[in-house]
A = this chain, B = another copy of it.
Amino acid sequence: MKIIVDGMGGDNAPLAVLQGCAQAVTEYGVEIIITGKKQELERLMEENEISRQNISIIDAPTVISMEDDPISVVKDKRNSSMGLAFDLLKNGDGDAMLSAGNTGALLTGATLIVKRIDGVKRAALAPVIPNKSGLVMLIDSGATVDCRPEFLEQYGLMGSVYMKKMYDITNPRVGLANNGTEDCKGTDLYIASNKLLRENKNINFVGNVEGRGLMLGECDVYVSDGFTGNLILKTVEGTSLFFLDFMKKLFGKSIISKLAAVLVMKDIKAFKKKSDYKEIGGAALLGISKPVIKAHGSSDAKAIKNAINQAKIFASSEIIEEISENIKQR
């Protein structure tokens, strides 16, 4: 299994990316192709004693920054670390591709260079987050702001296949984000999407699910347009940070509270690990004809390593094949 990694994407690139790649080689037995500024990458690997075993580097003269226009990946920055990674993926030089860089450029490059699965109308950004009952996918969390009902129907289908194949969930419950549980609730987009999701025989649609249900475990796939989904995802992140900040302060306040912390530290660590996006990996870009993973922009080496593992499982799970078949049936 060969994973293509954009060596220059993300807040902690390239060092954290290199470290994550080396860890993944050891832990998951994958081969890695890293794209990026070859001299810099080689120097960093040497300086930090990062093993080059099963890691090859493809030189990319430019880098797409977070501020760059997404379209640059297919225009003036076609030869960037991200652009060349897409070329490698497209040409079959690797089985999956991963980047922690500019999300817009990743979407643009995936769609225009690697292309969507035949019949898929829009690719979707689909992170999986921990909730009360285990894990839930939020699809779309920001790829497409203006959606049509057919997009949301396909999100439900693609998310369903992914959760089944990646996490062995037999018949994933697909819920539609909404401001009420009745089918008539929501905007015209959501009323029409509800109807399409309900009629699709390949989807185990559990109906509209309110915002509470996302974290309380009422479904395995939570479908929304990209505008709403992005706000929901970031609201979960912000609320989580609010609570983690409180707990940090709670246990750091005095000698007595630090003692309390010691008593429950094991459980807190287990919870933090469970609710840590770095453990889960990145967000899958569903609807693209080859596996593409968007790692969190602030990924450290561990997050990169886990995202590589996710890419490996994604590539070996026939997810894209099954999505393709399901889309054709419609």
Whether the Cβ atoms of B253 and A260 lie closer than 8 Å is: no
A216 at the interface (CB under 8 A from B): yes
Query: Nearest chain B CB to A270's CB is how many angstroms away?
Result: 10
Whether the Cβ atoms of A179 and B251 lie closer than 8 Å is: no
Chain B residue numbers with a CB within 8 Å of A259 are 260, 263
Chain B residue numbers with a CB within 8 Å of A186 are 145, 227
Whether the Cβ atoms of A242 and B145 lie closer than 8 Å is: no
Whether the Cβ atoms of B211 and A230 lie closer than 8 Å is: yes
A54 at the interface (CB under 8 A from B): no
- Known contacts A213-B238, A251-B264, A259-B263: A231-B232 contact under CB 8 Å: yes
Interface residues on A, range: 35 or more
Whether the Cβ atoms of A132 and B242 lie closer than 8 Å is: yes
Interface residues of A (CB under 8 A from B): 131-132, 142, 145-146, 177-179, 185-188, 190, 210-216, 224, 226-228, 230-243, 245-247, 250-251, 253, 256-257, 259-261, 263-264, 267-268, 271
Chain B residue numbers with a CB within 8 Å of A231 are 177-179, 210-211, 224, 228, 231-232
Chain B residue numbers with a CB within 8 Å of A187 are 145-146, 227
Query: Nearest chain B CB to A251's CB is how many angstroms away?
Result: 7
Whether the Cβ atoms of B230 and A212 lie closer than 8 Å is: no
Beyond A146-B187, A256-B263, A256-B264, list 12 extra A-B contacts (CB 8 Å). A132-B241, A132-B245, A145-B179, A145-B185, A179-B231, A210-B234, A212-B234, A212-B235, A215-B235, A250-B271, A259-B263, A260-B264
Query: Nearest chain B CB to A128's CB is how many angstroms away?
Result: 15
Query: Nearest chain B CB to A76's CB is how many angstroms away?
Result: 20
Query: Nearest chain B CB to A248's CB is how many angstroms away?
Result: 12
Whether the Cβ atoms of B241 and A239 lie closer than 8 Å is: no
Contact among B131, B190, B212, B261 for A237, CB-based, below 8 A: B212
8 A-B pairs with least C-beta separation: A211-B234, A215-B238, A260-B263, A179-B230, A212-B238, A239-B239, A211-B235, A260-B260
Whether the Cβ atoms of A241 and B212 lie closer than 8 Å is: yes
Whether the Cβ atoms of A264 and B257 lie closer than 8 Å is: yes
Chain B residue numbers with a CB within 8 Å of A239 are 215, 235-236, 239-240, 243
Q: For residue A146, which residue of chain B has the nearest CB? A: B187
Chain B residue numbers with a CB within 8 Å of A236 are 211, 235, 239
Most buried by B among A227, A257, A264, A271: A264
